């Protein structure tokens, strides 16, 4: 009798949302090569399962437009600076993935043909079909939108099965677990419950896009070994946000 495959992935196509701070390691600043190399290995083992992977990366480790505007930089200019920071992070992640033997393409919402392809939906889909990991930089290409919104938008455009929001905590809590030891973690929560409880899963524009498109979100701890793989295999990791 043939053995059943117990390692079949639950999802065929995923979007992994990485914060810029995650690439900066403990300090959350700059780019930590060891942390990025570890990310690449985690992504590689998921890709080896046959899962199609798209990645949206933030830029907070280098520059955050909102904090820049608070210090006197014009908001739109600050946001464009932040978008450029995401491209730097995308290139760093691409370098680590290529060194790990994973075929990768970077697409940018801001045209910069010397270092990245422009975002073209059909081309991105073709890359995925050919087994390449596609990294999106440049956010949505518009100021006043976060990289969370870029993740929700690309997820909808590319028809992914789930958004995996990688964080430094192991899910969504009813209060800050660092300040409140009795904070309760949710295994599953609905979009409406998250809104009513004012839980900061994503910013409101990103969250609305996910809710409108019934796009499930899993919030999980990126820094536990093999956690991306565990999520993709359907293990109970982090918090699932569903309709």
Q: What is the mean pLDDT of residues 5-11?
A: 80
Q: How is residue 19 written in tokens? A: 């914060």
pLDDT band at 173 (very low <50, low <70, confident <90, very high): very high
Cα–chain-centroid distance for residue 150?
Answer: 10
Say if residue 3's pLDDT is above 60: no
pLDDT for position 28: 84
Q: What is the mean pLDDT of residues 18-44?
A: 93
**H helices within 100-189, ranges in order?**
121-129, 147-158
pLDDT for position 4: 43
What phi and psi values does residue 164 have, to the nearest 5 degrees?
Answer: -100, 110
pLDDT for position 240: 96
Q: Report the C-alpha dihedral over residues 35, 38, 40, 45, rounded to 10 degrees.
A: -160
Proportion of the chain above pLDDT 90, given as a percent? 83
Q: Encode pLDDT of 197-225 as tens digits.
A: 888 889 989 999 999 999 999 999 999 99
Domains along the chain?
13-242 (3.40.1160.10)
Number of helices (H) and strands (E) in the chain: give both, helices first: 9, 11
Q: Encode pLDDT of 95-145 as tens digits.
A: 999 999 999 999 999 999 999 999 999 999 999 999 999 999 999 999 999
Q: Encode pLDDT of 178-199 as tens digits.
A: 888 899 999 999 999 998 888 8
Coil, strand, or helix at residue 178?
A: coil
Select the more confidently predicted residue: 40 or 70.
40
pLDDT band at 26 (very low <50, low <70, confident <90, very high): confident
pLDDT for position 15: 98
Apex 147 CA angle, 209 and 22, nearest 5: 125
Those residues with Cβ within 8 angstroms of residue 196's Cβ, 6 or more apart along the chain or in another chain: none
pLDDT for position 141: 97
Say if residue 6's pLDDT is above 70: no
Mean pLDDT of the chain: 93
Q: What is the mean pLDDT of residues 43-49?
A: 97
pLDDT for position 1: 44
pLDDT for position 168: 87
């Amino acid at each position: 009798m043939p053995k059943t495959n117990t390692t079949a992935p639950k999802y065929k196509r995923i979007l992994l949302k990485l914060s810029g701070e995650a690439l900066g390691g403990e300090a959350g600043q700059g780019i930590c090569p060891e942390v990025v190399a570890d990310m690449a290995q985690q992504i590689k083992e998921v890709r080896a399962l046959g899962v199609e992977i798209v990645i949206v990366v933030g830029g907070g480790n280098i520059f955050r437009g909102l904090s820049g505007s608070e210090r006197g930089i014009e908001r739109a200019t600050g946001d464009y600076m932040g978008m450029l920071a995401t491209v730097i992070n995308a290139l760093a992640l691409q370098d680590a993935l290529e060194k790990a033997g994973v075929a990768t393409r970077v697409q940018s919402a801001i045209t910069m043909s010397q270092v990245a392809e422009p975002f073209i939906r059909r081309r991105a889909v073709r890359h995925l079909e050919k087994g390449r990991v596609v990294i999106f930089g440049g956010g949505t290409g518009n100021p006043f939108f976060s990289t969370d919104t870029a993740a929700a938008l690309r997820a909808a455009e590319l028809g992914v099965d789930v958004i995996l929001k990688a964080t430094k905590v192991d899910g969504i809590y009813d209060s800050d677990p660092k300040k409140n030891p009795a904070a309760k973690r949710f295994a599953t929560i609905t979009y409406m419950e998250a809104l009513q409880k004012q839980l900061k899963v994503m910013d409101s524009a990103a969250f609305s896009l996910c809710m409108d498109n019934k796009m499930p979100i899993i919030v999980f701890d990126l820094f536990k070994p093999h956690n991306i793989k565990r999520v993709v295999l359907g293990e109970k990791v982090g918090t699932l946000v569903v309709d």
